[in-house]
Amino acid sequence: MHPDRHNFRPNWPAPDDYLLELGRMTALWGSLDAASVLAFGKFAGYAEILDIRAVIITAHLNFQQRLDAISALCEHLAPSYPKLSNYELVIKQLKAAQKARNKYAHNGATFNEETGKVELSYATARGSLRLHSETVHISDIKEANAKIHEGLCSLHSLVSGKELLPIWERA
């Protein structure tokens, strides 16, 4: 193994402040992903906080499938549990978080040395191929992180019945 294998130069492959926010996104998403497993288990009626049966079932589901299952369970339970009355808003927040995360997780953000800007390039092919490139601002990634954190707090509140405020609203 080369001795410099782990010594990446600063601001590569994008400026370090962007990489910090992308790393934050990864950590936040991991927490939200794990919370979706707990939520599924709770709404499916398992008594333990982390029932292994819920883990086994959700291990075979992607995040969207977990959301669909959680939404269906909440719809079924809401008439008997009034605290679930806002589940549709929570699902909407979680979908917005997923969309924001996927934009950065599945498309490469690179630094364009000629323009001095970070760019995101991606393709869509619904009907015809379209290539896209856009400038990414650090505030865009921070907004995506805020959506993920809000979704995590909302899901926690839905599951526990106790409001969990986003970090910026806590005293």
Per-residue model confidence as pLDDT tens digits over 22-80: 999 999 999 999 999 999 999 999 999 889 999 999 999 999 999 999 999 999 999 99
How confident is the model at residue 49, as a pLDDT? 86
**Consecutive H or E run containing 88:** helix 87-105
Residue 3 is assigned to a structural domain of this protein: no
Tell me if 7 is assigned to some domain.
Answer: no
In which domain, by residue range, is 139 found?
Answer: 16-169
Task: Specify if 160 maps to a domain.
Answer: yes
The domain total for the chain is: 1
Q: Is residue 10 part of a domain?
A: no
CB contact at 8 A, 14 and 7: no
Q: Which of 136, 144, 105 is nearest to 14 (CA)?
A: 136
Tell me the pTM. 0.92
54 lies in some domain? yes
